[in-house]
A and B are shown apart, each in its own frame.
Chain A
Amino acid sequence: MNIIAILLPLALLLGATGLAAFLWCMRSGQFADLEGASWRVLRDDDMVEPRPDGQP
């Protein structure tokens, strides 16, 4: 039964982390435009252009 003492707090902690993440997402306005966000993820603007000489 000692396992419960570890598992229960762990489960609650994970849940609370999820909730905190959700509230953070909300505060940073990530639910303001659900339609645009689904397209934004497909953008490649965060990729570094490979150099023409083939060097990384």
Chain B
Amino acid sequence: MATPQDLSVFVRHAPGGVAGMELAVDGIRCAGCMHAIEDGLAREAGLLSARVNLALKRVTVEWREGALRPEAVVERLAALGFKAYPFLPADQEGREAREEARLLRCLGVAGFAAMNIMLLSVSVWAGNASDIEPSTRDLFHWLSALIALPTAAYAGRPFFESALRALRAGSVNMDVPITLGVVLALAMSVVETWQHSRHAYFDGAVMLLFFLLVGRYLDQLMRRRTRDLAGNLAALKAETATRLAPDGTAVALPIAAIVPGDLVLVAPGERVSVDGIVEGGRSELDQSLVTGETAPATVGRGERVYAGTLNLSGALRVRVEAAGSGTLLDDIDRLMSQAVENRSRYVKLSDRAARLYAPLVHATALATFLGWLALGLGWQQALLIAVTVLIITCPCALGLAIPAVQVVAASALFRQRVMLKHGDALERLAELDTVVFDKTGTLTLPEAGILNPEAVPEAERAEIAALAAASRHPLAQALAQALGASAPAQEVREYPGQGLTSRCGGSERRLGSVDFCQAQEQADVAIRAHPDASLIAYRNGDRRIAIAIGQRLRPQARETVAALQEAGFAVMILSGDRPQAVAPVAAALGITEARAGLLPGGKLELLDGLARKGRKVLMVGDGLNDAPALAASHVSISPVSASHLAQSAADIVFLGDSLAPVAQAVAIGRKARRLMIQNLWLAVLYNAIAVPVAIAGLVTPLIAAAAMSGSSLVVTLNALRARSTGGGSAP
């Protein structure tokens, strides 16, 4: 690269003269990659350590301050065959990681306590069946209390705090019955032990905490993983800008280091990575990512450019107004807030279950207590039975039912190169009945390409590419990029508005308009096959070629749309592009409902209309103009090539060019939801059997322990079935 790179913004400086950097690495797939990276970096002098995190696809490197430039690490990784993108971990990641560590510590403590109390409890149960001495039993119970009480005070805090928060806010959540159950069970057990009775529920209370913490931990793991991967995504986009210093020197900087007020240079063929005002230069911009319109627009001094547009013909100097997060067109900004307002608040499955569950549990326990009192039992015994009802109904299985499925399904999605940004997107995916696609950049690839590659002979490719690279015409630039041109051809004469010629050896080569190359015959063939394409012609002696340049469909777009239609979804296209450009794509994909020329507000209106009719819409889009629609739809998916705003509005992001992940995500979402519902029913079934037994006062600590662990295991095993996704076939 000609312009020097500067990555110093990403370096964090630790005390003791150690500098470090986090890199997201593209293409770490297996242990081999991990070893190659670690061994390769170990040979770099000055590096203190390099460690790959295979789960997160990241590398952490540390070096002695001043021994190394951060750019050298990236270069070294590139030499090893890995593209690495440094990034700054967000503050939020740190907070989530601490919360996860705390839950894991609680889980460890609860697990330790549950095992040791069980050791004592099993002896008591065995002794109760034979001839244990009451004094020994009391000793065992007191020992259990000694372990259980501090454990509950420590490991139960996540639940107690959440329950208190809910009560203070005047509402009830799942943690209220949990807290009540655990506290009452422990208190009753202490009283029972005091009175030398046969049964104590220390084991039940602690085991309950253990299983619930497993569910809570999985939930947190899921949340953190999705957030970390979202952080990687931002890094993988690897946007850089070339900053011009006041003295005219140019330095390539990551977008995170650009601040408003900087002057950046945007070369032809580059994507604009900032929002700002043009200070110098003239060029044509492909704004399809922003507006959906595929025809290039001309910009000059004083005009505004937006991140995501592609600079086609001339170099531009742009005064930065916003980088990274991006300023927005005022329109879009207004529409975004409207969209967020309109989105019906989705209530998560687990929350809906909790809302039903908590009052039911409390009512049952209270009714049991009052019922036994009325039947003439002493208040203490009646309370004991009511507490066993609380313990038995405590939502162990319910707490595991949904997080377990989410974690398993999310890793299945990740293997298909689909990243979830919200855990509940899985549930929402399963409720769809309509899929709406944007056209430009979503159904089609973001970059223009050659539509008739069969017309371009292999032998001439390098020559055509070199000629094309010599021209500044947008079509020629696109052609050069598609053919992978390295160096522009020398000794070229350009005829403005017609094309260029190069004389090499004896024969003359021409590249330019169809008339210029007299390739009318070939052009007719090409235009018949690709009516919406722009044509560029090439002539070498008597051989003439017409090359059709235009937007190609994403790989597997046809199969994906067909699979979705077959699965019973209504498929639509809502595009901001011209009707002439939308119609052929719709026809090629077999989509009958296609709307063209829509402004962002129009898309939003149509989606609102669909929502009012009770349709659940999946929006797939990538442009800035799609962002409000993505935010407003029931669930939304973006390709990784999408604009910043679209990606942050979307619930799910897929990697790669192929469109197939869309259908796979829908299939996995449906399967996951089916398993969640199954799990909830399993939990209900368990309660239907266990609760009457508990109300009858027949539950001993042994039965409670067996029922709780049994139901939790069944639910977890059922969740593991989300792993087998059968290659993403229809649900």
Contacts and interface: CB of A to CB of B under 8 A. Distances in A.
A19 B107 CA distance: 10
Interface string B52-63: 111110000000
B108 interface: yes
Nearest to B101: A26
A8 B139 CA distance: 11
A15 B115 contact: yes
B162 interface: no
Contact of A39 (B31, B53, B136): B31
Contact of A15 (B31, B34, B116, B139): B116
A32 B58 CA distance: 11
A33 B56 contact: yes
A16 B146 CA distance: 14
B105 interface: yes
A3 B34 CA distance: 52
Contacts, number: 49
Interface residues of A, number: 22
Interface string A1-24: 100100010011001101100110
A12 B116 contact: yes
Contacts of B143: 8
Given A23-B105, A26-B104, A34 B119 contact: no
A32 B108 CA distance: 16
A47 interface: no
A19 B115 CA distance: 11
A36 B31 CA distance: 7
A42 B31 contact: yes
A19 to B, nearest CB: 4
B35 A36 contact: no
A1 B108 contact: no
B105 A33 contact: no
Nearest to B143: A8
Interface in A13-56: 15-16, 18-19, 22-23, 26, 31-36, 39-40, 42-43
A23 B109 CA distance: 9
B112 interface: yes
14 contacts: A12-B147, A16-B112, A19-B109, A19-B112, A31-B104, A33-B54, A34-B55, A35-B55, A36-B31, A36-B34, A36-B52, A39-B30, A39-B31, A40-B31
Interface of A: 1, 4, 8, 11-12, 15-16, 18-19, 22-23, 26, 31-36, 39-40, 42-43
Given A33-B52, A36-B53, 10 more contacts: A4-B139, A8-B143, A16-B112, A23-B105, A23-B108, A33-B55, A33-B56, A36-B31, A36-B52, A39-B35
